[in-house]
Amino acid sequence: MTNSSILTTTLQAVMAKAIDAAGGWQGFDAFMALALYQPDLGYYANDSQKFGRMPAVARMGDGAQGGGSDFVTAPELSPHFGRTLARQVAQALQASGTDEVWEFGAGSGALAQQLLDALGGQVARYTIVDLSSVLRERQRTRLAAHAGKVHWASELPDRMRGVVLGNEVLDAMPVKLLARLNGAWYERGVAMHEGRFTYADSPTELRPPLEVAGMHDYVTEIHLQAEGFIRTLADRLESGAVFLLDYGFPEQEYYHPQRSMGTVMCHRAHLADADPLADVGEKDITAHVNFTGIALAGQDAGLEVLGYTSQGRFLLNCGLLEGLDSGIDAASLARRVMVQKLVNEHEMGELFKVIAFGAKGRPVWKPLGFSAGDRLHTL
Ligand SMILES: C[S@@+](CC[C@H](N)C(=O)[O-])C[C@H]1O[C@@H](n2cnc3c(N)ncnc32)[C@H](O)[C@@H]1O
């Protein structure tokens, strides 16, 4: 057996036991939480590489995959992502009179490194909150040069100040699956059948936030954990701002009648598939973000929504392209191709969005990233 199949078999056994303990059925959110975060075994808790630009190379002869990454995020793609975001963070630190940054889900530590290098003395303390202890160790190694400033927190303090950041964190938070079948709504969960995971539906009072037109069969997600996370931030952040970057859409688009298969996706070796029940622990499981739900959760809890736009527009507003024109050697060309991927509409520029909040009861200000093309009215 390869290391990865031992991992999957062991994790499967843990998850099967959890389903059994829950009476033979577990909501998809509980299943996703174990598949991603079960200590040592879940996708984010095991020691596979995960982030990077290149998939694994098949080993000669046996065709088995070893090492290699599964997907690329913006800070992994180009250091210009963090350098550009740093301009927004600098403005936010100044506007809110703070010198602290909080990053949720820091992955390999790439964004933290880019921000700390760019912001220098403007940041006195950089705190990372990440569920994965394996990733916390990688971050510690990568950020050794900034060791005096970087701290890790396993839970949020009652009161916090600073600029809060999360790149592709909301999409990694477990979602509930809902299925409309023959006009009736069910919560879609996971059961065991002949030793394998299988979907099983249970009648529910839960509904998507918007009525989905039509009577056709329809599968979608609701994001109770991500919205709870925003409410917690609203409660604890006494001064500062929050910037969240991720893929997703406003709810009119999210719950469009034609999006009848939902948005849950898996990523492994830079390929996407739609079967989270297979090969648990070996691939990432994600769902797109409903940005209307995130905005409403924040607003209802007292946060001020400061802006919402596409990642492309946000980064251009923050000056992504400034200074990129100098020199036309091969290295700078390759670098510019990566930068373009961050903003091109058919790559990360349009599907990825940025939403920002200001702390409860604090003066409203206009972040640089929304200076042109703010789409708050679309939420
Ligand atoms: C898709 S990765 C993104 C990593 C990194 N931000 C990047 O852009 O490369 C998701 C990250 O979020 C972390 N994560 C998920 N849920 C979290 C939560 N509730 N609190 C903190 N970190 C979380 C995961 O452990 C992982 O590091």
Give the CA-trace dihedral at 133, 25, 17, 4, to 10 degrees.
-50
Encoding tokens for residue 57? Answer: 């190379």
Q: Is the CB of 170 under 6 A from ligand 1?
A: no
Q: Give nearest CA residue, ligand 1 atom 10.
A: 169
Number of domains in the chain: 1
Structure tokens given for 377: 């009215």
Ligand 1 within 6 A of CB of 106: yes
Nearest-5° Cα angle at 289, 264 to 270: 50
Instruction: State mean pLDDT over 357-362.
Output: 94
pLDDT given at position 326? 65
pTM of the model: 0.95
Residue 90: CB within 6 Å of ligand 1? no
Ligand 1 contact, 135 CB (< 6 A): yes
CA 292, 308, 97 angle in degrees (round to 5)? 115
Give the tens place of pLDDT for each residue, 284-341.
999 999 999 999 999 999 999 999 999 999 999 999 998 776 655 555 888 888 999 9
Has residue 22 got a pLDDT over 60?
yes
Cβ(307)–Cβ(355) below 8 Å: yes
What average pLDDT is seen over the chain?
A: 93
Residue 31, C-beta contacts closer than 8 angstroms, at least 6 positions apart: 15, 19, 189, 190, 197, 276
Q: Are 70 and 268 in contact (CB under 8 A)?
A: yes
Domain that holds residue 302: 1-379
Residue 95 belongs to domain with CATH number: 3.40.50.12710
Quote the CA–CA distance of 296 and 210 in Å, as a whole number: 13
Q: Relative to the CA of 167, which ligand 1 atom is closest?
A: 6
Taking 50 as the threshold, does the pLDDT of residue 61 lie above it? no
